[in-house]
Structure 1
């Protein structure tokens, strides 16, 4: 489908599409015929279109808009769909409900951009161009990570964040819930995690230095909040994958429960700095019991098959100085305290695996994660292939193409961001998650890619959206469609920005 008009400038680009002459018009009399099992997609279409269009789209046995769930459509996989639009009918078919949900987002994009508005837009003809579309994603994992530990974001914004991901056919929302600077997930057995660990007295201003804002920051979700988020995301075909950092990046937990650390009797605060803190969890049995209890509650709330345990940037200085940690290393037959890092991850990963879940960890080198972990390889492009060759499934998260906390340009007007470089729109668009040098058996282990937004420099929803868009549009295109020319993508993006504007997304220009 060529971006000959903003209406056909779809992001991500469909696998196969042909625009035909004519158009179909939705009006107050338009009805929907929905086959058994397709009801969730029909509900979503009504929910998304109602605010701007007011279209009721009631059910009818002879409705011209038809949603069909057909498990015989094996060629469409778990997320693919077929969409046929003629002057008198719209037919959306898929093998799975998730595929129908993806097709609903395409119908949204084919309508005038005003259809995405949050309030009535009278006087607009709600037409879609006639077209034949067969669409299947290239990669099964197309994710976006939001760090709510550094700067807490309220539930209503998380729901909006998910809605924007769904528009771009992102299918994993990675929710970074804990870190040195805050703990946002309630755990009934450990109430101080949010009562104390969810609040810090101030925050560092900018990279490095010793300037602080003097303003307390805090917040935590309730179990009901997180359950609502999971349900909201699932209704849009998105899995919420929680991340609980361990054994490093755990200063907030240790502020709440200091006895879980490596120095008995020590009192800590929730960290007010950015960067890597050398205060980490201990390795005594009470710590492992704590971790298992936390994960049991996390699993009660989040049905995601994947659970992220962090695992990177874990200085082992405290273990090397701790008699208890050195004793643990000896009793486990390890080479020294540094080897406790892999031992710790293996213990937690094995526990999650026995519960039927799949542990995920950050891969700094591609070789430090235990067997059975899915690796998020972020530090070096070569680590993706290295981890895949070792037998890990991998999400290619190379930071110079997927970390959206980096500035988008080197211009003097660009707001402060992560120091050390720029990740521009072309960088994101030009990054192929599956390296061309990968042999087929290695490439098969690369599940996909993911955007990441650490929020040291993004305290507000407006700042988050400025950093995320339009870069997420490029990442979504790469993950769903695969590499395209810059001219093709930029032409479609030019049309797509009208949709972002209708949604009041404060994007980078």
Structure 2
């Protein structure tokens, strides 16, 4: 009853009991996974040398995240080609543990992931989430063998990362006077309802570095996202001189939707962006840095003499092409420092304006991802109708508000195939599908409890789709039901998998 489904498992009679006779045997390179197992078990497993061994060891060649698990009544062996595989094996042991009488069922199991990038994005810009909760999210991702946690740190509604030498980014940009109530457009009319409640917060670089270390000790990479050159109203509230109309004061945006205020294209704006990215890369050792790039209205560039002149000097056909130029400047800066850039992709046409070595994340339509692969890009699939967890899960009167639109159900997410149409998997170098990512934007999720409700159980379905392939939904549901007590043990009160059969159980 493991989620996500392992590649192959064979059950045997008997159980391995975790008592004083059990001892942990740790091979070279397995120290961190062994420490994690000790933490989860709440025991040192320091039995005598003659005791029943629980062995963690690096062994063999193959896919770095693969692992093999052999549990017998007298011994446990967890082996993998690399540390990453051992981390996943520890999570399998965690799920298999009988908490009432600490023991594991006897079995032989082999496992490996379908895709190398299995991510989850949490938007902390629209609504700030406390750091202790981010630690919880990391642990829940690791529990489901997801290996990337993307932090959406900046947007029009808030700037969440301390940047040394630029205090106004957090003194001003991290706080807004109020928040919109409901979607930005209601029945075709712009929304003018606000709650009147100030909101904000930010993370210090020390706090973020601590999160990165905590995640790494669980096999999870934290990928930062800094939105450029649009979705920057919070930045411009702090430093309006970096916009296209420097004499116009701007508050941090309190609304949702797409804001027309974007960065100017002068040297000062680019220099600040480079300084921000330089500090970001020092805090986050991830190979990848996400630099946004989506929903960038260009009307201000078209109306700005400075932007029009910049486009002319660069030989661009129109100011709108400054978007691609701006992103390439940031890509070049990061590449010179050994990092790779990720951008959102909104259409096949937009992909064509980006360097091929920028990894793109198509969110409007999976077909855009297929087009990006054909153009030579690495792709992280994230089509909103299959991966956006901020949409409602059910069309039901009791369902909390979510993004306007058709619900995205557990079945929708579980049935998502990032490789549909025979797309190739990328090894991180060649064009192809690097992986997939689930997103949770927080316009309608102001608290950790809201986020948890929207994440689960749908994140379980997503984990299965990207680790092992969706398979049979009924079989998945059979494994999901006994998984609910595990979620509750993690402090999660998940949404019912469907309104009706499980609803009463979720209230217990």
Normalising by the smaller structure, the TM-score range is: over 0.9
* 1:337 to partner: Cα distance: 0.4
Name the counterpart of 1:4: none
Residue ranges of structure 1 left out of the alignment (5+ in a row)? 1-8, 115-123
Q: TM-score, normalised by structure 2?
A: 0.93
Q: Residues 42 and 67 of structure 1 are in contact (CA less than 8 Å); yes or no, is this contact kept in structure 2?
A: no
Q: Residues 32 and 63 of structure 1 are in contact (CA less than 8 Å); yes or no, is this contact kept in structure 2?
A: no
Q: Deviations over 1:133-158 (max 9, x none)?
A: 11111110100000000000111000
From 122, 126, 140, the equivalent of 1:146 is 122
Name the counterpart of 1:107: 93
Query: In 2, Cα distance between the equivalents of 1:60 and 1:455?
Result: 51
* 1:69 to partner: Cα distance: 3.1
Show the 5 A alignment for 1:258-269: 258-269=240-251
Q: Check if 1:413 corresponds to 2:398.
A: yes
Query: In 1, Cα distance between the equivalents of 2:435 and 2:108?
Result: 27
Show the 5 A alignment for 1:15-26: 15-26=7-18
* 1:241 to partner: Cα distance: 0.1
Q: Residues 424 and 432 of structure 2 are in contact (CA less than 8 Å); yes or no, is this contact kept in structure 1?
A: no
* 1:30 to partner: Cα distance: 1.9
Taking a change above 3 Å as real, the CA distance of residues 99 and 278 of structure 1, as seen in their structure-2 partners, is same
From 52, 67, 83, the equivalent of 1:64 is 52
Name the counterpart of 1:6: none
Name the counterpart of 1:97: 83
Classify the secondary structure of the residue corresponding to 1:245. Answer: strand
Q: Deviations over 1:269-297 (max 9, x none)?
A: 00000010000000011111111100010
Q: Residues 156 and 253 of structure 2 are in contact (CA less than 8 Å); yes or no, is this contact kept in structure 1?
A: yes
Q: Deviations over 1:15-45 (max 9, x none)?
A: 1111111111001342111111111111000
Q: Deviations over 1:428-471 (max 9, x none)?
A: 01110101343689996101111100000001111000000000
* 1:412 to partner: Cα distance: 1.1
Name the counterpart of 1:49: 41
From 179, 188, 191, the equivalent of 2:164 is 188
Name the counterpart of 2:5: 13
* 1:268 to partner: Cα distance: 0.4
Show the 5 A alignment for 1:260-279: 260-279=242-261
Query: In 2, Cα distance between the equivalents of 1:401 and 1:439?
Result: 19
Q: Deviations over 1:234-285 (max 9, x none)?
A: 0000000000000000000000000110012110000000010000000011
Q: Check if 1:450 corresponds to 2:437.
A: yes
Q: Deviations over 1:341-375 (max 9, x none)?
A: 11111111111111111100100013424121101
Q: Check if 1:397 corresponds to 2:382.
A: yes
Q: Residues 34 and 59 of structure 1 are in contact (CA less than 8 Å); yes or no, is this contact kept in structure 2?
A: no
Query: In 2, Cα distance between the equivalents of 1:60 and 1:274?
Result: 61
Q: Deviations over 1:468-506 (max 9, x none)?
A: 000000000011101310111111111111211222211
Residue ranges of structure 2 left out of the alignment (5+ in a row)? 185-190, 497-508
Classify the secondary structure of the residue corresponding to 2:292. Answer: coil
Taking a change above 3 Å as real, the CA distance of residues 201 and 386 of structure 1, as seen in their structure-2 partners, is same
Q: Residues 83 and 93 of structure 1 are in contact (CA less than 8 Å); yes or no, is this contact kept in structure 2?
A: yes
**Two-structure CA RMSD over aligned residues (Å):** 1.5
Name the counterpart of 1:126: 102
Name the counterpart of 2:202: 220
Name the counterpart of 1:117: none
Q: Check if 1:380 corresponds to 2:365.
A: yes
Q: Residues 38 and 69 of structure 1 are in contact (CA less than 8 Å); yes or no, is this contact kept in structure 2?
A: yes
Classify the secondary structure of the residue corresponding to 1:272. Answer: coil
Name the counterpart of 1:33: 25
Query: In 2, Cα distance between the equivalents of 1:297 and 1:349?
Result: 15
Instruction: Tell me the matched-pair count.
Output: 485
Classify the secondary structure of the residue corresponding to 1:174. Answer: strand
Show the 5 A alignment for 1:347-386: 347-369=329-351, 370-371=354-355, 372-386=357-371
Q: Deviations over 1:388-439 (max 9, x none)?
A: 1111100110100100000001111111100011100000011101013436
Name the counterpart of 2:503: none
Name the counterpart of 1:500: 487
Q: TM-score, normalised by structure 1?
A: 0.93
Classify the secondary structure of the residue corresponding to 1:21. Answer: strand
Query: In 1, Cα distance between the equivalents of 2:238 and 2:425?
Result: 48
Query: In 1, Cα distance between the equivalents of 2:264 and 2:55?
Result: 54
Classify the secondary structure of the residue corresponding to 1:368. Answer: helix
Q: Residues 149 and 176 of structure 1 are in contact (CA less than 8 Å); yes or no, is this contact kept in structure 2?
A: yes
Query: In 2, Cα distance between the equivalents of 1:169 and 1:459?
Result: 26
Q: Residues 425 and 433 of structure 2 are in contact (CA less than 8 Å); yes or no, is this contact kept in structure 1?
A: no
